[in-house]
Amino acid sequence: MEEALELARAKDTKERMAGVERLHQLLEASRKSLSSSEVTSLVDCCMDLLKDNNFRVSQGALQALASAAVLSGAPQAPL
C-alpha cells in the first residue's frame, strides 16, 4: 500500500490518478484490517487528494476512504 500512497502524492496528475486507482484496488481486494499507521497514512494522503484540482483524483480518494471504512469494521450509517 505504501507504493500506491507514494504514487498518489506525486506532482503529476496522471501519476496521482494511478495512485488512487491502485489504492482503491488494493483496499477492495484486501480481507485484512488496516493497522492504525496504515489508516493514518491513508487518511492523511486522501485529505490532501480531496483538495486536488482534478475531480477524478478527488473522487478516487473518496472511493479509497469508503473501502477503508468497510475494512475498519466500523458501523455504517444507513443511506
Q: Please check the confidence at residue 73 and state whether its pLDDT lies above 80.
A: no
Supply the pTM of this predicted model: 0.81
pLDDT at 30: 86
The fold adopted by the segment(s) 2-72 is Leucine-rich Repeat Variant (1.25.10)
Domain boundaries, the chain: 2-72
Residues 37-53, mean pLDDT to the nearest whole number: 93
pLDDT at 42: 92
Element (H, E) at 37: helix 36-49
Residues 26-40, mean pLDDT to the nearest whole number: 86
Instruction: Classify 73 in phi/psi space as left (phi over 0), alpha (psi -120 to 50) or beta.
Output: left
